[in-house]
Chain A
Amino acid sequence: MKKPELLVTPTSVEDIAPLIDVGATAVIIGEEKYALRLAGDFSRKEVEEATTIAHEKGAKVYVAMNALFHNETLPLLPDYIQFLDRTGVDAIVFGDPAVLMNVREHAPKMKLHWNTETTATNWYTANYWGRKGAARAVLARELNMDSIIEIKEEAEVEIEVQVHGMTCMFQSKRMLVGNYMAFQGKDLEVQGRSKDRSLILHDPERDAKYPIWEDENGTHIMSPKDMCIIDELDEMLDAGIDSFKIDGILKDFDYIKKMTALYRQAIDLYTEDPEVYNRKKDELLDEVKSVQPANRDLDTGFFFKETVY
């Protein structure tokens, strides 16, 4: 049985070797100017270092350029894409067609992964982006397991699925936290707002807490729980999903490393002997729970949930 790639999110260059050592086979990195919601911000020099380290250890490096671009950033794209091409990264992750246009022109051999977060919802459209040049589609997190399996059956491109971590619910170009504080006449408290501030929105109706932060790309609001399906991987392994992603945004290195090791174990167990995986999967889930932050419950995302409309 083919093993899927295990794609993880290092917070810095130093994380990369140890993450690969515990079982990651690919990492996703990037620079906030071009990319959305990364676990860490990587300068060009750091992208070069990361690529050297990962390639020495036989792992892939993907660089995210999945922001929604406005005209003012377009002039920067060719140079950055050419830099990534020279550096030898394994793929560029994009959502905006502007990146696709620039890669066609400036780095035609570069692999592309299509990831808009929320809009990869059917197999036809995954294949559409494949015909436009993408080698992979990253599926929306709002799909259920049956849809994912059907997409994989019909897909002419690689399929990547997030299996663990928080997901984005909302992105605004507006600076919502800053605007709110300014409206209350508390501008000074906005200083230094960032992911490090650990801001949350409390939803009293649902008693849920949503992480929120601002950066160059606007305001981001994240899911109140971390999805975890370490004990429900069998169908996707059988279907041959190409890549499992662990998103470690807003988590520290130790947590990301632990999750990487546990999912590595889960994948290996199943591919060696599904019976053993079935016996041990509850233990794996317990291990995840043992390091899970108290304020972040686990759930199974939308894998087993029907949405209506």
Chain B
Amino acid sequence: MEQQTVKRPSEGRRVITKKPELLAPAGNLEKLKIAVHYGADAVFIGGRDFGLRSNADNFSIEEMAEGVQFADKYGAHIYVTTNIFAHNENMDGLEDYLKDLEKVGVTGIIVADPLIIETCKRVAPKLEVHLSTQQSLSNWQAVKFWKEEGLDRVVLAREVGLGEMLEMKANVDIEIETFIHGAMCISYSGRCVLSNHMTARDSNRGGCCQSCRWDYFLYEEDGANEQKTGEKALFDTDDAPFAMSPKDLNLIEAIPKLVEAGIDSLKVEGRMKSIHYVATVVSVYRKVIDAYCEDPDNFKIDNEWLKELAKCANRPTAPAFFENTPGHEEQMFRNHSQKTTFDFAGLVLDYDEETEIVTLQQRNHFRPGDQIEFFGPEITNFTQKVEKIWDEDGEELDAARHPLQIVKFKVDKPVKPNNMMRKEQLT
């Protein structure tokens, strides 16, 4: 399939003819706007019903309409996750909901249950229908089945590697979307009911409480069938507990291969993540995809991109199934409570060129003397020390300590609205 996406004109330079979509998560309207502003080609969001993150803020129909209007200005698409496996009672309200989605102009829905696929085709035929990763789509014949069912796009199982993607592309003419970054189910998606058993929360209807991330202890039992129980611990007291929590996915170094494979959409996980996370990850992948597509022959991974991604990482990362079935190096890590190394400290509202003073909405504690960093789609990252800070009325502050407080201080270089300020955590 390389011919389709990469051409070699006579002078020998390779030209990328198809750029993949960069698809970002957004848990609410603010995150949607940030994702689009920072370079996402498309954003996936959840509504109040039928989606899988019942703990996220999620969007009302009115908010979706506003999101669509905003995205339109950038030529970006909005997809709505409606990927529960419905129970009988969930059928109520489905038709009206899908009609509303069509009316507000979202591009498509991400679906797992044939009930919702067929209902959508019947009542809201203008919506694209994308098969959710909840179907754990793992082979090209299953891809072909869903193509024949009229789906516009399939999201692959997280267990599918590059070689398998190439075979799918070679055998079936359908758009393929795959995850490139973020936290992942360690089970086949849709086939895990740990939450149901442990907390009576239905994982396949949005109630997942991430039981796989908890600690367990591994034993060997004697005679499971007899009426006795002897147990031997398969760990030492100083060993890590048995954990199913995998490292997060990170395919930054695989972007060239994904582009050449003709994958249509590259997806970042994280509707529950902060605007700082979304902005950081989206802007890095935006740069990687653009740089590779601009000049594939001279492309190199910039070490700054890797460092930038690490600033918002919640866990160590690995390429998961991209090359092979992951061994312990791609899965296990010791410190499960590891947190990010940087805090999101402020969102730029305005900048005065004459006075070189930024107006900032505070998002975390900072004070004069702190070393901070600005980043954003229009600027090159820069760090500086904070000097005097004032509040809105010009009163000098010893620290910006109130959440969402509007503050001002002098910056070394120009910044733009919606640029972000972060601060390294003290260790």
> Which residues of chain B are near A309, meaning CB under 8 Å?
54, 84, 201-202, 205-207
Interface residues on B, range: 35 or more
CB within 8 Å: A-B pair count: 237
Question: CB distance A251 to B145 under 8 Å?
Answer: no
> Can you list 6 A-B pairs with a CB-CB distance of less than 8 A?
A116-B190, A140-B85, A180-B332, A200-B219, A211-B224, A293-B224
Question: CB distance B332 to A293 under 8 Å?
Answer: no
Q: Is A101 an interface residue (CB 8 A)?
A: yes
Q: Which of A129, A181, A221 contacts B194 (CB 8 A)?
A: A221
Indicate whether A180 sits within 8 Å of B218 (C-beta atoms), given known contacts A74-B140, A98-B142, A170-B212. Answer: yes
Complex CA–CA separation, A70 to B137 (angstroms): 9
Q: Which of B142, B216, B217, B229 contacts A96 (CB 8 A)?
A: B142
Question: CB distance A170 to B138 under 8 Å?
Answer: no
Q: Is B136 an interface residue (CB 8 A)?
A: yes
- Give, as a whole number of angstroms, the nearest-CB distance from A137 to chain B: 12
* Interchain residue pairs A-B with the least CB separation, the first 6: A309-B207, A97-B145, A98-B141, A309-B205, A179-B328, A183-B332
CB nearest neighbor in A for B327: A179
Q: Is B227 an interface residue (CB 8 A)?
A: yes
Question: CB distance B88 to A198 under 8 Å?
Answer: no
Question: CB distance A142 to B192 under 8 Å?
Answer: no
* Among A12-20, A40-48, A118-126, the stretch in contact with B: A118-126
> Which residues of chain B are near A69, meaning CB under 8 Å?
138-139, 141-142
Indicate whether A170 sits within 8 Å of B234 (C-beta atoms), given known contacts A69-B139, A203-B198. Answer: no
CB nearest neighbor in A for B217: A202
Complex CA–CA separation, A235 to B233 (angstroms): 44
Question: CB distance B221 to A295 under 8 Å?
Answer: yes
CB nearest neighbor in B for A217: B188
- Give, as a whole number of angstroms, the nearest-CB distance from A209 to chain B: 8
- Give, as a whole number of angstroms, the nearest-CB distance from B150 to chain A: 13
Complex CA–CA separation, A173 to B138 (angstroms): 11
Q: Is A174 an interface residue (CB 8 A)?
A: yes
Complex CA–CA separation, A203 to B85 (angstroms): 27
Q: Which of B86, B136, B234, B321 has the most CB of A within 10 A?
A: B234
Complex CA–CA separation, A169 to B145 (angstroms): 27
> Which residues of chain A are near B217, meaning CB under 8 Å?
201-202, 204
* Among A49-57, A85-93, A273-281, A299-307, the stretch in contact with B: A299-307
- Give, as a whole number of angstroms, the nearest-CB distance from B141 to chain A: 4
Q: Which of B90, B197, B205, B243 contacts A169 (CB 8 A)?
A: B197
User: Which residues of B are in contact with A by a Cβ distance under 8 Å?
Assistant: 54, 84-91, 112-115, 118, 136, 138-142, 144-146, 157, 159-160, 163-164, 167-168, 186-188, 190-194, 196-198, 200-202, 204-207, 212, 214-229, 231, 234-236, 239-240, 242-244, 246, 321, 325-328, 331-332
> Which residues of chain A are near B91, meaning CB under 8 Å?
122, 124
Interface residues on A, range: 35 or more
CB nearest neighbor in B for A144: B87
> Which residues of chain A are near B167, meaning CB under 8 Å?
71
> Which residues of chain A are near B221, meaning CB under 8 Å?
198-200, 209, 295
> Which residues of chain A are near B157, meaning CB under 8 Å?
68
Complex CA–CA separation, A89 to B264 (angstroms): 42
Give the contacts of A233-260 with B (CB-CB under 8 A). 250-252, 255
- Give, as a whole number of angstroms, the nearest-CB distance from A177 to chain B: 7
Complex CA–CA separation, A306 to B205 (angstroms): 13
> Which residues of chain A are near B168, meaning CB under 8 Å?
71
Q: Is A224 an interface residue (CB 8 A)?
A: yes
Give the contacts of A156-199 with B (CB-CB under 8 A). 168-184, 186, 189, 197-199
Indicate whether A118 sits within 8 Å of B139 (C-beta atoms), given known contacts A184-B235, A307-B196, A309-B202. Answer: no
- Give, as a whole number of angstroms, the nearest-CB distance from A150 to chain B: 5
CB nearest neighbor in B for A208: B198
- Give, as a whole number of angstroms, the nearest-CB distance from B373 to chain A: 34
Complex CA–CA separation, A128 to B118 (angstroms): 9
> Which residues of chain B are near A100, meaning CB under 8 Å?
145
Question: CB distance B201 to A170 under 8 Å?
Answer: no
Question: CB distance B141 to A97 under 8 Å?
Answer: yes
Question: CB distance A307 to B90 under 8 Å?
Answer: no
> Which residues of chain B are near A102, meaning CB under 8 Å?
141
Question: CB distance A293 to B226 under 8 Å?
Answer: yes
Complex CA–CA separation, A97 to B147 (angstroms): 12
Complex CA–CA separation, A197 to B218 (angstroms): 12
CB nearest neighbor in B for A295: B229
Question: CB distance A71 to B139 under 8 Å?
Answer: yes
Q: Which of B87, B140, B164, B235 contacts A143 (CB 8 A)?
A: B87
CB nearest neighbor in B for A212: B218
Question: CB distance B115 to A184 under 8 Å?
Answer: no
Q: Is A308 an interface residue (CB 8 A)?
A: yes
> Which residues of chain B are near A189, meaning CB under 8 Å?
234
Question: CB distance A116 to B114 under 8 Å?
Answer: no
Question: CB distance A172 to B188 under 8 Å?
Answer: yes
Complex CA–CA separation, A204 to B331 (angstroms): 23
Complex CA–CA separation, A171 to B191 (angstroms): 7
CB nearest neighbor in A for B94: A124
Question: CB distance B235 to A71 under 8 Å?
Answer: no
Indicate whether A122 sits within 8 Å of B87 (C-beta atoms), given known contacts A170-B192, A171-B188, A179-B331. Answer: yes
Question: CB distance A150 to B88 under 8 Å?
Answer: yes
Question: CB distance B118 to A177 under 8 Å?
Answer: no
> Which residues of chain A are near B192, meaning CB under 8 Å?
118, 169-171
Q: Which of B54, B141, B243 has the most CB of A within 10 A?
A: B141
Indicate whether A182 sits within 8 Å of B188 (C-beta atoms), given known contacts A71-B164, A119-B113, A174-B246. Answer: no
Q: Is A223 an interface residue (CB 8 A)?
A: yes
